Amino acid sequence: MFSIVLNIVGTLFHLYVAARLYSLDAVRSRIPRRVWWVGALLVWLVYFAGVRIGDEALDWRWWPGQFALTWLGITFVMSLCLLAADLASGFGFWWRAHTQKIRALGAAAGVLLAAFALFQGMRAPVIVDQEVVMRDLPKALDGTVIVAVSDIHLGAQRRSEWLAARVAQINALQPAAVLMLGDQVEDNPVGRPLPGEPQLAPTLRGLRAPLGVWAVTGNHEFYGDAETTVREFEEGGVRWLRDRQVELAPGLVLAGIEDIGRRMRNEADYTSGLARTIPAPTNTATILMSHIPAAAIIEEASARGVDLMLSGHTHGGQIWPFSYAVQKRFAKFDGAYDVSGMMLYVTRGAGSWGPRMRLWKPGEIIRLTLRAPKISSQSALPNGSVPHGG
State yes or no: cis peptide before 321, omega within 30 of 0: yes
Residue-wise pLDDT tens digits, 92-103: 888 788 899 999
Burial class (CB in 10 A: 0-12, 13-18, 19+), 282: middle
Are 354 and 317 in contact by the 8 Å Cβ rule? The answer is no
| pLDDT digits 0-9 by tens, 200-236 | 889 999 999 999 999 999 999 999 889 999 999 999 9
d(CA 210, CA 114): 41
Question: Domain-by-domain residue ranges, the chain?
Answer: 2-122, 126-371
Question: Which has the closest alpha carbon to 245: 171, 312, 305, 298?
Answer: 305
- 42-66 pLDDT, tens per residue? 999 999 988 887 666 566 677 888 8
* Alpha-carbon gap, residue 363 to 239, rounded angstroms: 24
To the nearest 10 degrees (0 to 180), the angle between helices 2-22 and 99-122 is 140
Q: How high does pLDDT run on average in the chain?
A: 90
What stretches of the chain show up as alpha helix (H) in DSSP?
2-22, 25-28, 33-53, 62-88, 99-122, 160-171, 200-204, 226-235, 261-265, 272-277, 295-303, 322-329
Predicted pLDDT at 226: 92
Reported confidence tier of residue 381, pLDDT bands at 50, 70, 90: very low
Q: What residue type is 198 in one-letter code?
A: P
Mean pLDDT of 265-294: 94
CB 30 within 8 A of CB 41: no
What CA–CA distance (Å, rounded) separates 199 from 160?
A: 7
What does the pLDDT look like over 233-251, one tens digit per residue?
A: 999 999 999 999 999 999 9
The answer to whether residue 196 scores a pLDDT higher than 60 is no
Per the DSSP assignment, residues forming a β-bridge with 254 are 246, 287
* Confidence at residue 209, expressed as pLDDT on a 0 to 100 scale: 98
Find the distance separating the first CA and the last CA of the chain, reported in whole Å. 35
Per CATH, the number for 126-371 is 3.60.21.10
Sign of CA dihedral 17, 22, 23, 26: positive
Residue 143: its pLDDT value, please?
97
Residues 66 and 60: their CA atoms lie apart, in Å, by 11
Mean pLDDT over residues 19-34, rounded?
Answer: 96
Rounded mean pLDDT, 148-165? 91
Closest CA to 222 of 237, 238, 242, 202: 242
Q: Look at the alpha carbons of 211, 213, 218, 221 in this order and tell me if their dihedral is positive or negative.
A: negative
Say yes or no to pLDDT of 377 above 50: no
**Per-residue pLDDT reduced to its tens digit, 316-361:** 999 999 999 999 999 999 999 999 999 999 999 999 998 999 999 9
